[in-house]
Structures are given as structure tokens and as C-alpha cells.
Amino acid sequence: MLEQSQSPAFTKTFLRLFIPAATQSLFFNLIGIFDVLMVGQLGDASVAAVGLSGQFFFLLSLALFGTTSGAAVFAAQYWGARDLPNLRRVLGLSLAVCMSAASIFALVALVLPGQVLRLYTRDAAVIELGISYLRVIGWSYLFTSVTVCFSAIIRSSGNTRLPMLVSVCMLSLNTALNYCLIFGKLGLPALGVQGAAIGTCISRILECLLLLAILYKLRSEIAGTPRQLFNFNLGFVSRHLRLILIVFLNEFLWALGVNVYNAMIARLGTSAYAAYNITTTVQGLGLFFSFGCATTCSILVGHRIGAGKPDEAYRIASRILLISFLGSIVVGIGVIVSRFPLMELYRISPEARQDASAMLLIAGLSLWLRSLDPMFIIGIMRSGGDTRFSAIIDVGAIWFAGIPAVALAAFVFHLPVQWVFCAVLTEHLVKNVVGARRFLSKRWIRNLTAGGLAKEPAGSEVTAVT
């Protein structure tokens, strides 16, 4: 727990939370690069098929992230206020919402995969490969929803290490399984794109089971009994679900907007979309630093607001915002320098390689701009309880700035794909201008735990599993 934002104490606490959070984000995106690299050996159609199939899961993952982010706002503040019973109820509520959403997505992926893929592309080869991928990966969605819920609440308590360790272990297994099943190693059949789906599905299921086993074996206070998790009344649901649904809709509508980006760029051709998929994967890797900062900021700001220290929350947010900005400039330079060696690893068409190299240059130069998004939206406004305003910024910028700009670049001016990619930056520019003004106003600081329901009995101990 951070008692003051003075340098030694702040640095120690920041690093304790930041390193596991950033490592998990880095590793997740690094594995994503390895997966695209392996599938990239199969050609442009395979890269496009996995990328477009992944967009359907991306829509689900952002819905899960939105729900758990809303729950984590309460969880961090309840942890700061030492209100464990309500923290458990928030976890139970997020589980109910996330598992319901995952069930719907799983059903669609298993029953209607072709219809999903036809929303993005007309390429018959891409659709056929994508169907084989979705019909396998859909079985993992329910398990993923449970993992995301528990991981978010664990991080809200200040324990970023456990989710990181479990995730890193399972992502490593995922890479090994994908390699063996895509190319037919260690006596396993060479299944190509379907092999990538099987490896990922197995890893996600095992990740869920391992995380639950550790939490309940160590008797974490967070991992309550079913009665503790789902013991909430209509008043509790009404009060908490309203904010959770705002964040859920925020992330879902933003993810839908990203899917529109993908659909528009996919219409430019399979080669163009393959280059775009590679670029966004590498760009995601570059954003590990800012996401680590945003996660750390959301925890510390939530704890401080829940403890009734808004001024300290503002000072902490200011310092982490500067750290994220400066760190992302350095990482962006790394993306620019490494783009040509990265392109040599993919067996894609020369046109796709040239487009991807140009887009990676743009991604590296603009990484500092994109890094401010998660800080303003997730690390500051959302964790401060200002969910409605952050949702308006997040959704409004993509639908009323980013998507029109991309549509104009692609279908009116018929610009090359790298300039269409550049048009996406319109969204981030709008977010950052509005987000900076909101941050400076301090109107985002709201204590959501004031007047909370059941409190932990006096003298009880609240600790996180480490």
C-alpha cells in the first residue's frame, strides 16, 4: 500500500505493481507475434484467416475487459476501504455477466462461423480457413471469461504477480503447442491453422483451471465460496451493474469500432490486411509499457480514492502519466529500428512486406500518442469512477472521428493502406485532447465506496495472495 507519493515509497510501490503487469502484457503480445509468425509461414490467406477470426474473439475480449474493468473500479476502491464482502460480491456479479456473454459468443462461433467471417471478407480461401479456426477456439471462450474475471479482481487488490505468472506459463505452453500442431512436430499431425486453434484452446482452458486451483488451494480471501460471491440483492446489483454496464458497453462499442476498421481494411485486399494484422500485432507489443502503467495507475488511484485521499490520487496519476509518455517514446524508437528485421521473418508477399514496414514506421512514430489512451481512459478516469465521461470519449472518438477518417482515406480518396492506417490516429488525437482537459479539471475523482453496503467485521484481516 502506498502511503505517500514521495519518490522512494512511490518508486518501490510503482515497480512492484508495474513489472508484473507490464511483463504480462509484453509476454501476451510477444506470444501473439510468435503465433502470427508461425501462421505467416503458411501464406497471406492463413495470416488473414487467423487475424479475422481473432477479431471475433477481440470483440468478446473487449466485452469481458469492459465488464471486469467496471468491476475492478469498485474492487480497487473496496480494497482501499477494507470492504472485502462487497469486493467478493463484485467478483460474483462480473462472473455472471462475463460467463453469459462468453456463452453467446461461443454459440455463434461454433454454429455460425461462416456468417461471422463473411462480415469481414469475400475471400473464399480465407473464410474456409477461418471457419476451421473458429469452430475449435469457440470452446475456450467460457473458460477465458472466468480467467479474466478472477485476474482483474486479483490485480485490483494490488497482486499483479499471480496473474502474470499463470499467464506467462500458459502462454509459453500455447506457443509450444501451436508450433507442434501447426507444423506437425514431436509426432503430432500438421494441422496448419486448425492446429493453432487447438493449441490456443487447450492453453486457455488450462490457464483457467490453474488459476482457480492456486487461489482456492491458498485460500485467497478473494476466491470466496459460491454463497459469498453471489450473495447480492437487487439493490446491490442495481448500484454496481449500472457502472459495470457503462464500461461493458464502452469496451464493446469500441471493439465493434475496431472490427469496423478491420472490415474496411480487409476490403482493400488479403495482402493489405495481412500487413495490417502483422502491424497491429507488433504495435500491441509496443504498448506493453503504457498498459503496465495504466494497470498500475488504476490500482493505486483506486486505493487512494477508496481510502479518502483524492489529492494523493491526483499526484500519483500525474507521475505515472509522465512515466508512460516518456517510456513509450523509447519503445517507439525500438519498433522503428526493428521493423526491417521483423519483416524478414514472415513468408508473405513482397507487397504485404512493404506495406507492413511502412505501417510499422507510422506505429513507432505515433506510439507515444496511442500510449496516452489507456492512461486517460483506464488508468485515470475509469479508476477514478468517472466511467460515463470516459465511455463518451472512448466510443465517440472511434465512431465519430476514427471510422469516418478511415472510410474517407480508403473508399473516397483510395489511399494506400499505410495512409489508411495513419487515418486511425484521428481517434487517438481526439481522445488525448479531451482526456487531458478532463484530467486537469480533477472532476474524474469520485469515491464510489462511500455509503457502501456490508463492511468487513472489525479486526478482520484482509490480505492478498502473493
Over residues 318-322, mean pLDDT: 95
Ranges of H-type helices in 267-309: 270-286, 288-306
Which one-letter amino acid corresponds to residue 422? C
Burial of 82 (0-12, 13-18, 19+ CB in 10 A): middle
**CA distances to 63, 199, 247, 401 from 103, in Å:** 12, 21, 20, 32
- Asked if residue 376 has pLDDT above 70, the reply is yes
Q: Kindly state the greatest CA–CA separation across the chain.
A: 67
Nearest to 463 by CA among 162, 94, 147, 66: 162
Q: What is the pTM (predicted TM-score) of this model? A: 0.73
Work out the angle at residue 167's Cα, subtended by the Cα atoms of residues 33 and 180, and round it to the nearest 5 degrees.
55
**Which has more pLDDT, 429 or 258?**
429
Q: Could you report the per-residue pLDDT of 228-252, keeping only the tens digit for each?
A: 888 877 888 888 888 888 888 888 8
- Asked if residue 321 has pLDDT above 90, the reply is yes
Q: Could you report the per-residue pLDDT of 344-371, keeping only the tens digit for each?
A: 777 778 888 889 999 999 999 999 999 9
Percentage of the chain exceeding pLDDT 70: 94
Whole-number pLDDT of residue 373: 92
**Which has more pLDDT, 207 or 220?**
207
